[in-house]
Amino acid sequence: MPQQQSLGIYIHYPYCRTKCNFCDFNAYRLPKESVVNSYCEALLKEIDHWAGTLSAFRPLIIETLYFGGGTPSLISIEYLTRVLKALNQFGEIAGDCEITIESTPGSLSPSLLRNYRALGINRLSIGAESFDPKMLKALERDHGVEDIFRAIEWAERAGFDNLCLDLMYGLPHQTMDDLGRDLAQLIACSARHLSIYQLTLTSRHPLTPKLPKEEDLVAMFYAIHQALEANGFVHYEISNYAKSGFECRHNRRYWGDEDFLGLGAGAHSYFMRYQDAIGGAGWGVRWANIMNPLLYTESLKEGGRPTCRLHALTESEAFLERIMTGLRLLKEGVNVSKLSSKFNNLTSNLESAIAELRARRWVDFQGGVLKLSPEGFCFADEAALKLTEK
C-alpha cells in the first residue's frame, strides 16, 4: 500500500467589511451577497477540480487547513460546512488536522465561535493589530480595543485553546512606550501564538511621513523579541512567536518544503509531485490563481481553471528558497550538509559565504547547522542572497 502523502490546504476569502488603509493583501470591500455567494460556489468548484486532478497522487491526507483572507470569519456557516464537506474528496482529513480561521475582532460572536468548534475548527487567529485606540483609528480598523478583549473572552468560552493574535508595530507616531503598552496587553492575553509585523507602506502613502525612523524600528523589533522571550514565547520564525507546541503547523509547511494547495483568488500552491504531470526538472512546481475575485469566479463559472501562473522551479530557485525559508526558522536554521548533498552543483561558494556572514556576526554555525544570530535577525534576505551568490 503506497504511503499517504501529507497535504496542507489554504483557502482564500477576499472580502472584508471595510478596507484598512495600510492593507496590501488581496482583499476587497464586501460586495453584495450574490457576488459573495458566486465566489463561494466557485471555490467549491475549484475544490472539485483539484480533488479530481490530484486523485492520481492518492492516498492524500490533509494535515493542515487554513482559511485566510480578507476576513474569512465573514463566510457563512452554511458555506463553511459545504467547503469542509467537499474537502473530503481529497481523501482523508487527519484526525488531528490543524484547522485555522482568521478573523477580525468585530466579526466574531459567541454563537459563531461555538459553530466553529462544532465544525472542527481548532485554531482561531484574531487580527488585533494594536491595543491603542489612536492607532486603530489611524489604521482605519473596523473595531475598537473592547472588541478585541470581548472576542478573546468569547473564544476562550467556546473552547479555543489555540488562540493567535496579530499585532503590528512601527505605527504612525508610535513610541517605545506605546509599544511597551501593546506588548503588556498581548502578554496578559491567553494567546499561545503571536504574529508580529512591521507596518510597511509605499513611499507615497499619506501615513509614511508619520512612521518611526529606521533605527527606532530596529530597536522595536528587539524590544518585542526580548519581552516575548522573557514571557515564555519562543521566537521560532522572524515574525512569529509561540508557546511550546503551538507553532503554526500550516505555515511551517511553507517554510519547510512541504506540499500545499491554495484555493481561491490569488492563492498560491506548491506541489512537488505535480511536476510528473507537467514535466518539471525535479525541484517542485508552484502556481498561483487569478488575483481578482470576480475574474476568478468567472473563470470557474465557465468551466475553466483559475490558474494563471504555473512554474516548474529550477535548481537555483529551489536552492534560494530552501536557504531563505530555512534561515527564517530561527531555532532550526539550515542543515548545510543536507543542503550540500541535495544541491551539489551550487554550493561551491557556501563555505566562504558562511565565513563572511560569521565575520559580520549575522549567523551562528554549529554542528553543520546555520542559524541567524540575534544580530542577523533583520538581515535574513541579505544573508540568503550572499549564501546563494555564484
Residue in 7, 42, 70, 75 binding ligand SF4, rule: CB under 6 A: 70
CB of 25 to ligand SF4, least distance (A): 5
Gap between the Cα atoms of 107 and 97, Å rounded: 24
The backbone region for 387, taken as left when phi is positive above 0, alpha when psi lies in -120 to 50, beta otherwise, is alpha
CB of 263 to ligand SF4, least distance (A): 17
Nearer residue to ligand SF4 within complex by CB, 18 or 231: 18
List all residues 6 or more positions away from 53 whose beta carbon is below 8 Å from its beta carbon: none
Q: Is 331 exposed, middle or buried (0-12, 13-18, 19+ CB in 10 A)?
A: exposed
Nearer residue to ligand SF4 within complex by CB, 73 or 325: 73
Site string for ligand SF4, 291-330 (x = CB under 6 A): ----------------------------------------
Q: Which helix (H) or strand (E) covers residue 193, if one does?
A: strand 193-198
Binding positions for ligand SF4, 5-24, rule CB under 6 A: 16, 19-20, 23
Nearer residue to ligand SF4 within complex by CB, 106 or 280: 106
CB of 334 to ligand SF4, least distance (A): 32
CB of 27 to ligand SF4, least distance (A): 4
Nearer residue to ligand SF4 within complex by CB, 27 or 387: 27
List all residues 6 or more positions away from 303 whose beta carbon is below 8 Å from its beta carbon: none
Site string for ligand SF4, 93-132 (x = CB under 6 A): -----------x----------------------x-----
Dmax (CA) of the chain = 61
CB of 102 to ligand SF4, least distance (A): 8
Residue in 7, 27, 242, 267 binding ligand SF4, rule: CB under 6 A: 27
Gap between the Cα atoms of 351 and 301, Å rounded: 53
Gap between the Cα atoms of 67 and 308, Å rounded: 21
User: Which cell is 163 given?
Assistant: 488562540
CB of 29 to ligand SF4, least distance (A): 8
Nearer residue to ligand SF4 within complex by CB, 140 or 351: 140
At residue 267, the 3 state secondary structure works out as coil
CB of 166 to ligand SF4, least distance (A): 9
CA atoms in the 13 A half-sphere facing the CB of 139: 29
Site string for ligand SF4, 126-165 (x = CB under 6 A): -x--------------------------------------
Total residues in contact with ligand SF4, by rule CB under 6 A: 11
CB burial of 278-300 (b: ≥16 within 10 Å; e: otherwise) equals eebeebbbbbbbbeebbebbebb
Q: Could you say whether residue 376 binds ligand SF4 (CB under 6 A)?
A: no
Nearer residue to ligand SF4 within complex by CB, 170 or 280: 170
Determine contact, residues 110/154, Cβ cutoff 8 Å.
yes
Site string for ligand SF4, 30-69 (x = CB under 6 A): ---------------------------------------x
At residue 77, the 3 state secondary structure works out as helix
Nearer residue to ligand SF4 within complex by CB, 80 or 353: 80
Q: Could you say whether residue 25 binds ligand SF4 (CB under 6 A)?
A: yes
Find the DSSP H helices in 231-367: 249-255, 275-278, 293-301, 315-328, 336-342, 350-359
Determine contact, residues 249/9, Cβ cutoff 8 Å.
no
CB of 322 to ligand SF4, least distance (A): 29
Give the strands of the sheet with 363-366, arranged side by side: 334-335, 369-372, 363-366
Q: Which residues bind ligand SF4 (CB under 6 A)?
A: 16, 19-20, 23, 25, 27, 69-71, 104, 127
